[in-house]
Amino acid sequence: MKPVFVHEPLDTFFTLQTNNMKKITFLAAMATACLPLPHLTPLLSQEPAKAPASKQLEEGFEWLFNGKSFDGWEGNLDWFRLEDGAIVAGSLEKKIPHNEFLCTKEKFADFELKLEVKLRGQGDNAGVQFRTVRIPNNTEVSGYQCDVGRAWNRNVWGCLYDESRRNKMLADTSDENLKKWVKQNDWNELTIKAVGNRIELGLNGHPTVTYIEEDAKIAKEGIIGLQIHSGPPTEALYRHIRIKRLSGK
């Protein structure tokens, strides 16, 4: 502001005062216009929604789930939905009356499958089916399962269960190891490799199971399925599902 000296004429003094007041009023109005209104402040302070993290596709792999639709998959969509590039199985609002599976329409024989899984809610059990078939007129499937979560009061992540066939754990790793490897309430990467009668499972880069199937009658081809287990309100999230087709050598 220009200083005002008392020795200036009185009419000049009032002219300066008037001009300065106009400047002050104008600047105050501009400052007020730049301030967010109270009811808009929360919106302006929020960070923009983040897109799902991208995943580099490894050499030889192809996406089995495109992150945007259920193309190539079938199942009871009352229990499966899409959320931020992931498949969400189950519900946090109601009990799950029986096992449900979202399955590929295509069958696979020898392959390596990679995906990320996360659990949330009261329950703590799901799984990834492979070399599997649907049971007619039933929500169940029959075949190998790479287990997810807990069962029998222990961790079963990356263990090999035989769903609705022999109904038992075929091979597992120690609970002590899994306690160190599992990322609680976070994404965990599973690896499933099946070649001939040999099956290898892994969790977050750690081998969990190597299993040799000795029963020649067990199918070496089938669909891949994502499970939500029956029980209390639970959700299993699956994302970055990719597969590499392998020869039978």
Residues 6+ apart with CB under 8 A from 109: 131, 194, 220, 221, 248
- Residue 8 confidence (pLDDT): 44
Per residue in 220-238, pLDDT (tens digit) is: 999 999 999 999 999 999 9
Report the relative pairing of strands 111-121 and 188-195 from DSSP bridges.
antiparallel
Closest alpha carbon to 112 in 202, 172, 187, 173: 202
| Domains of the chain and any CATH numbers | 1-49 (no CATH), 62-245 (2.60.120.560)
Q: What is the pTM of this model?
A: 0.78
Residue reference for tokens 């002050």: 24
The mean pLDDT of 10-22, rounded to a whole number, is: 45
Angular region, 121: left φ>0, alpha ψ -120 to 50, beta rest: left
- Residue 53 confidence (pLDDT): 52
pLDDT band at 31; cut points 50, 70, 90? very low
d(CA 101, CA 128): 9
d(CA 104, CA 81): 15
Per residue in 152-206, pLDDT (tens digit) is: 999 999 999 999 999 999 999 999 999 999 999 999 999 999 999 999 999 999 9
- Residue 248 confidence (pLDDT): 54
* DSSP, residue by residue, 134-195: EPTTSS-EEEEEEEEEEETTEE-TT-EEEETTT-EEEE---HHHHHHH--TTS-EEEEEEEE
Report the relative pairing of strands 198-203 and 62-63 from DSSP bridges.
unpaired
- Residue 109 confidence (pLDDT): 98
- Residue 43 confidence (pLDDT): 35
Out of 3-7, 32-36, 80-84, the most confident range is: 80-84
Closest alpha carbon to 230 in 106, 109, 90: 90
pLDDT band at 55; cut points 50, 70, 90? confident
Alpha helices (H) in the chain, listed in sequence order = 10-34, 41-45, 175-181
Res. 34: pLDDT tops 50: no
Residue reference for tokens 């009990």: 95
Per residue in 60-89, pLDDT (tens digit) is: 999 999 999 999 999 999 999 999 999 999
